Structure 1
Amino acid sequence: MLRVGCRYGTPLLFGLLLAVASSISSGRYRVLMADEPYPIVDTGQVRCYDDRVEIAYPKPGERFFGQDAQYRGHTPSYRDNGDGTITDLVTGLMWQKDPGEKKTYAEAVAGAAECRLGGYDDWRLPTIKELYSLILFSGEDVDPMATGGDLHPFIADCFAFQYGDVQKGERIIDSQFATATEYTSTTMNGAATVFGVNFADGRIKGYPRDRGPRGPKMFYVLYCRGNPDYGKNDFHDNGDGTITDRATGLMWAKIDSGHLKAGPNKDGRMNWEQALKWVEDLEYAGYDDWRLPNAKELQSLVDYTRSPDATNSPAIDPLFECTPIRDPLGRVDYGFYWTSTTHKRQGDGSAAVYIAFGRGGGWMPDRTGTYRYLDVHGAGCQRSDPKSGDPSRFPHGRGPQGDVIGIYNFVRPVRGGKAEPATEGPPLEEVKPRSRRPGAEAGFAPGPMPGGRPGGGIGPGIAPGFDPRGFGPPPGAPMPRGNAQPMPPSNPQAFLERLDRNGDGVISRDEFRGPPAAFGRFDADGDGSLDADEIRALLESRRTRGEAPQGPVSPGRRAVPLRAPAAAENPAKRRETAEASNAASVAKTPSGETPAPRTEATFASLAREIDATAPLPKKPSPDTPPNFVFVLIDDLGW
């Protein structure tokens, strides 16, 4: 049956009749393609958000007006052909339905020529733009350390999507899909890199092509066929400061917000709310209907044959102008660009998608425990940033690869295309908002950055003497030497920054990585979150009981937080019994006395007594920011 937006399983009977009426001699339905050779499929986002939670659709002039859900493009539309293939009725591409087992990159490339799915022999490994056409931002980012739960991937449910296999030691987000698009430079420590889409966490990243944490890097693969023009731009300079892509039907501003001196510091950088308002109010080149592009519209501009290291340019056609900046090492680079698309995570709408037209930088600790700035994901990656806040709170980025946090990013206005205004959406979801302490407002002005100028940069930890938003060092400033940044010692602030995923300055119950009983014990004011003072008390308790992490980290490896390993046979029973033992110990405490806090070592010891088959992970060095349970993974962080 023909289905539109098959994630929701809603049949479009009229479309079915039309397809049947236009069937061809082979008996297959004709593809109902859009008029453009490179139609941008809508992101599927139909809900609106402020910088924290879902909200009713804003009206013109109201805060947060102009976001993704308020402009609808080509509705995602797929047909299951019943032979192991799926046809995208917007792009005209036919896809493999089930990726099957993971492959090495060499196997992925070779497998296309051998594929005979559906009786066709012209399958190919998709480009990054072809594969990204499938992403749907109705999905939700998942905690990398989760082992299950209510999961919503970033792809239609007519595909046989698979998360990472936690039973094999993978993270649940280890669901990277390979493409034929290789990076023109390298990532990490000189690794040959290929771009891929992760439909588990909703990102484009450059992944080391050959090496993974446990041997060869493994990818899922969806081969495609048809529409050889998809992903190929056809730019035309209109001579009035605008450029039209005749392949997508979109008109773009030739210059960005930096050239237009936008933002609170007139440097082109804005937080997400400011970016939405600035574009909606913009009058440029005789047009007043500009908007902030959604994730898939902006990604269509990326030129993956270009990068700062390979071509000394941003990853975009030379017809466009990008404001140059300096990266933390003092090199010429190009910034992150906001999209109107919220990157939802477990009910939290505090992050939005951006595209990096320069290096996808991150801070990675080396074998000595020193953070070094690297291009970790490549020019053209798609990641997400907090919509508001202070970037100086993230001195070594965030996430497994220490992604640089910008918050104050550039804007490339767009207009036209198939976007139609939408004034209302589905009823608001019932989501219990996380608590926020007084004074921890969602949006606040950026603080001073290294280099002596106020405002957000591409990330803290900037090389001495450099302004990340400028083109060079201040007059007379010394040139930086190297890219070393010392790893911070174990302290409450480091602990908080490590676990505070949404950047609100506290650790909520679902961000906490320890036993539930421990959270309640240290939540002194009972507000459902831990602030710096409560974390300090927690860490002090660990130190006074002699249970601080001990032992060195093995060379070439780094420590990251992970839940304790599940029992071999009955993990739920094992944890239930351990918590019951913990509760019994508290119950035996004499009246009026404060029970001794149970730490992760105590909890893990109880668990081992119940199931001796579950070995404890090794503990990291004392210089590593503390957490409850650690495992060791490879430097690449996959």
Structure 2
Amino acid sequence: MTKTSSTPLLLLLATSLFIGCGSQTDVLTEPGPSAYLGTIPDTEQSYCFDELTAIDCQAEGAGFFGQDAQYLGETLAYQDHGDGTVTDEITGLMWTQTFTQTSWDEAFVVAAELTTGGYDDWRVPTIKELYSLMSFAGNTGTGTQDELAVPADAVPFVDTDTFDFEYGQVNRFIDAQYVSSTQYVGTTMGGDETFFGLNFADGRIKGYPIQRPGGLSYYAYFVRGGGDYGQNAFADNGDETITDAGTGLMWMQHDNGHYGQGDATYGGFIWADALAYCEALDLADHDDWRLPNAKELQSLVDYTRSPTTTDSPAIDPLLGATAITVEDGSENYPFYWSATTHAEGNGVKAAYVAFGQAFGFMTDPNGGTTFMDVHGAGCQRSDPKVGDPADYPTGFGPQGDVIRIYNFVRCVRGGATITTETSAASTWQGGTGDPPGPATCTVDGDCLADGACPPDATMGCTCEDIGAESICVPACSIDADCPTG
């Protein structure tokens, strides 16, 4: 069953303007005020997962309790005006329904000239505004992401009943990156000027080059109104908690590292332990803490800050972050787990937000690798929920994203309520019976069975211990042998 909200949606106020005696001109319906200026729309994730695939949601106190699907926020709801525009009833933002293909620079020109719906004040959205549209009911799908063919089980990370959408049409189906007006205050890829964009095909925020190589286009939805959305208003409660009046959420002032809690080697937690840590937390006379969903966590990012420009994490100094030693031996800041699974045909990964630089081992033309910031402090990527970071000495995927697995935690309270209105695991991907996921195994030979190993794993599969089970995972000697992440 899909999550449903018991909280009333925003009241829509219909207004009219009277001109002269007896004449009337209707004004488009505008949303009324939210309880908080920046109430964050729900992620729309209605399934629960373990470290492999969909499961029936567990009872409080059991393993894997406390994840995204079990806490309900304001359900995404749009008012279609019938003129190519829709209003988000939660944020108050009005959007164009159709996308435009454009360069980053040209997007601002297009917005300035746009008159959709009779309005002339369209603009390029900030990354927080754009992320409000994100739906984690999406799924990148099973198979390689380096091909143009769209996997049969792929689902876009945006409401396609409301917004027009297409997958990438040139090189890869996942090349559906949408522009925002938010520039990275640092640089990526060794010096590229960068903006933060949202990929509605693969469900990630990343830094993208302002001047895209090869003359390829980005995509854009345009927005108007709602200028307060995404603005934080932090207050120190004096008890190691911080309240954000902009969202109505209360946060731990410090992360787990401040208290010396986490793995002795890596400092953070695997995903299941991160969920349990927040569920068990008793802080400032509150015991209803939880791990934030991806949208809530991203709301904390301060995009005016970065380690290279402000010598700080990308977060307000009232909160801060524990400094860590990263893969090249330098000091930087952690990735933080969210309660949101990032579906890629299975439930192996969960979304995190990088408050430090988002490093990767970028391959150079000579076959070597260079350790660099590839996606920017403030991006949202994903990590395996369990495993050994040492198994990824040069990262994973085309930019060699570093894999940490033991990520840090900042718990939250408020803004969502526990719900039992979740979806049964047997309906994952709309099918029946066992949900899809990696094949379990006992020995390597089990991975030779039909369907046990992904077809794009050119070096075959080996049987590896992943958490409580052993599964068939691609064997590879170089990055190109493995499915990208």
With the length of structure 1 as denominator, give the TM-score of the two structures. Answer: 0.66
Query: Aligned residue for 1:511?
Result: 454
The one-letter code matched in structure 2 to 1:421 is I
Cα distance change of structure 1 residues 137 and 514 upon mapping to structure 2, 3 Å threshold: closer
The Cα of 1:54 is off from its aligned counterpart by 1.0
The one-letter code matched in structure 1 to 2:412 is V
Query: Aligned residue for 2:22?
Result: none
Instruction: Establish whether residue 425 from structure 1 lines up as the match of residue 422 from structure 2.
Output: yes
Cα distance change of structure 1 residues 269 and 627 upon mapping to structure 2, 3 Å threshold: closer
The Cα of 1:57 is off from its aligned counterpart by 1.3
Matches within 5 A, 1:78-89: 78-89=78-89
Mapped contact 1:308–1:332 kept (Cα < 8 A): no
3-state SS of 1:276 partner: helix
Query: Aligned residue for 1:369?
Result: 367
Residues of 2 paired with 1:398 and 1:116: CA distance? 43
3-state SS of 2:182 partner: strand
The one-letter code matched in structure 2 to 1:436 is T
Deviations 1:598-629 (A, max 9, x none): xxxxxxxxxxxxxxxxxxxxxxxxx9666499
Residues of 1 paired with 2:44 and 2:387: CA distance? 27
Mapped contact 1:131–1:197 kept (Cα < 8 A): yes
Mapped contact 1:268–1:411 kept (Cα < 8 A): no
Cα distance change of structure 1 residues 409 and 281 upon mapping to structure 2, 3 Å threshold: same
Residues of 1 paired with 2:450 and 2:208: CA distance? 30
The one-letter code matched in structure 1 to 2:168 is G
Cα distance change of structure 1 residues 261 and 45 upon mapping to structure 2, 3 Å threshold: same
Residues of 1 paired with 2:479 and 2:70: CA distance? 42
Cα distance change of structure 1 residues 74 and 439 upon mapping to structure 2, 3 Å threshold: farther
Residues of 2 paired with 1:530 and 1:68: CA distance? 27
Residues of 2 paired with 1:306 and 1:262: CA distance? 26
Matches within 5 A, 1:441-452: none
Instruction: Establish whether residue 41 from structure 1 lines up as the match of residue 58 from structure 2.
Output: no
Residues of 2 paired with 1:628 and 1:318: CA distance? 40
The Cα of 1:400 is off from its aligned counterpart by 1.3
3-state SS of 1:307 partner: coil
Mapped contact 1:263–1:274 kept (Cα < 8 A): no
Instruction: Establish whether residue 325 from structure 1 lines up as the match of residue 316 from structure 2.
Output: no
The Cα of 1:243 is off from its aligned counterpart by 0.6
Mapped contact 2:124–2:180 kept (Cα < 8 A): yes
Query: Aligned residue for 2:209?
Result: 208
Residues of 1 paired with 2:56 and 2:153: CA distance? 24
The one-letter code matched in structure 1 to 2:70 is Q
Residues of 2 paired with 1:357 and 1:505: CA distance? 41
What RMSD in Å do the two structures reach over aligned CA positions? 3.1
Cα distance change of structure 1 residues 505 and 73 upon mapping to structure 2, 3 Å threshold: farther
3-state SS of 1:279 partner: helix
The Cα of 1:55 is off from its aligned counterpart by 1.0
Question: Structure 2 residue aligned with 1:349, among 347, 356, 369?
Answer: 347
Question: Structure 1 residue aligned with 2:402, among 401, 404, 414?
Answer: 404
Structure with higher Rg: it is 1
Q: Structure 2 regions of 5+ residues with no counterpart?
A: 18-25, 464-470
Query: Aligned residue for 2:97?
Result: 97
The one-letter code matched in structure 1 to 2:61 is G
Residues of 1 paired with 2:59 and 2:448: CA distance? 30
Deviations 1:410-436 (A, max 9, x none): 00011112x011124123223244322
Residues of 2 paired with 1:628 and 1:139: CA distance? 23
Query: Aligned residue for 2:259?
Result: 260
The Cα of 1:35 is off from its aligned counterpart by 1.5
Query: Aligned residue for 1:453?
Result: none
Instruction: Establish whether residue 270 from structure 1 lines up as the match of residue 269 from structure 2.
Output: yes
The Cα of 1:117 is off from its aligned counterpart by 0.9
Cα distance change of structure 1 residues 624 and 386 upon mapping to structure 2, 3 Å threshold: closer
Deviations 1:365-420 (A, max 9, x none): 11211111110000000000000011111111111111110100000011112x01
| The structure with more helix, counted as a fraction of residues | 1
Cα distance change of structure 1 residues 508 and 393 upon mapping to structure 2, 3 Å threshold: farther
Q: Structure 1 regions of 5+ residues with no counterpart?
A: 441-503, 524-528, 537-622, 630-636
Residues of 2 paired with 1:337 and 1:62: CA distance? 22
Mapped contact 1:47–1:54 kept (Cα < 8 A): yes
Matches within 5 A, 1:123-522: 123-142=122-141, 143-146=144-147, 147-148=149-150, 149-157=152-160, 158-165=162-169, 169-212=170-213, 214-215=214-215, 217-265=216-264, 268-346=267-345, 348-417=346-415, 419-428=416-425, 429=427, 430=432, 431-438=435-442, 509=452, 511-513=454-456
3-state SS of 2:186 partner: strand
Residues of 2 paired with 1:152 and 1:160: CA distance? 13
Cα distance change of structure 1 residues 507 and 32 upon mapping to structure 2, 3 Å threshold: farther
Query: Aligned residue for 2:23?
Result: none
Cα distance change of structure 1 residues 278 and 308 upon mapping to structure 2, 3 Å threshold: same
Mapped contact 1:258–1:266 kept (Cα < 8 A): no
3-state SS of 2:102 partner: coil
3-state SS of 2:105 partner: helix
Cα distance change of structure 1 residues 387 and 514 upon mapping to structure 2, 3 Å threshold: closer
The Cα of 1:506 is off from its aligned counterpart by 12
Mapped contact 2:79–2:86 kept (Cα < 8 A): yes
The Cα of 1:510 is off from its aligned counterpart by 6.2
Residues of 2 paired with 1:261 and 1:423: CA distance? 34
Residues of 2 paired with 1:66 and 1:136: CA distance? 19
Residues of 2 paired with 1:439 and 1:225: CA distance? 57
3-state SS of 1:180 partner: coil
Residues of 2 paired with 1:85 and 1:387: CA distance? 39
The one-letter code matched in structure 2 to 1:427 is A
Identity, in percent, stands at 46
Cα distance change of structure 1 residues 164 and 88 upon mapping to structure 2, 3 Å threshold: same
Residues of 2 paired with 1:340 and 1:312: CA distance? 28
Cα distance change of structure 1 residues 383 and 320 upon mapping to structure 2, 3 Å threshold: same
Cα distance change of structure 1 residues 192 and 340 upon mapping to structure 2, 3 Å threshold: same
Query: Aligned residue for 1:24?
Result: 16
The one-letter code matched in structure 2 to 1:154 is F
The Cα of 1:276 is off from its aligned counterpart by 0.6
3-state SS of 1:236 partner: strand
Residues of 2 paired with 1:506 and 1:110: CA distance? 55
The Cα of 1:269 is off from its aligned counterpart by 0.6
3-state SS of 2:268 partner: coil
The Cα of 1:88 is off from its aligned counterpart by 0.4
Query: Aligned residue for 1:614?
Result: none
Residues of 2 paired with 1:139 and 1:420: CA distance? 22
The one-letter code matched in structure 1 to 2:327 is P
3-state SS of 2:272 partner: helix
With the length of structure 2 as denominator, give the TM-score of the two structures. Answer: 0.86
Cα distance change of structure 1 residues 22 and 104 upon mapping to structure 2, 3 Å threshold: closer
Cα distance change of structure 1 residues 144 and 626 upon mapping to structure 2, 3 Å threshold: closer
The one-letter code matched in structure 1 to 2:347 is G
3-state SS of 2:185 partner: strand
Residues of 2 paired with 1:625 and 1:307: CA distance? 29
Residues of 1 paired with 2:450 and 2:331: CA distance? 36
Cα distance change of structure 1 residues 432 and 307 upon mapping to structure 2, 3 Å threshold: closer
Matches within 5 A, 1:518-537: none
Query: Aligned residue for 1:118?
Result: 117
Residues of 1 paired with 2:177 and 2:62: CA distance? 38
Cα distance change of structure 1 residues 439 and 275 upon mapping to structure 2, 3 Å threshold: farther
Query: Aligned residue for 1:597?
Result: none
Identify which range, 297-306 or 77-86, moves more after superposition: 77-86
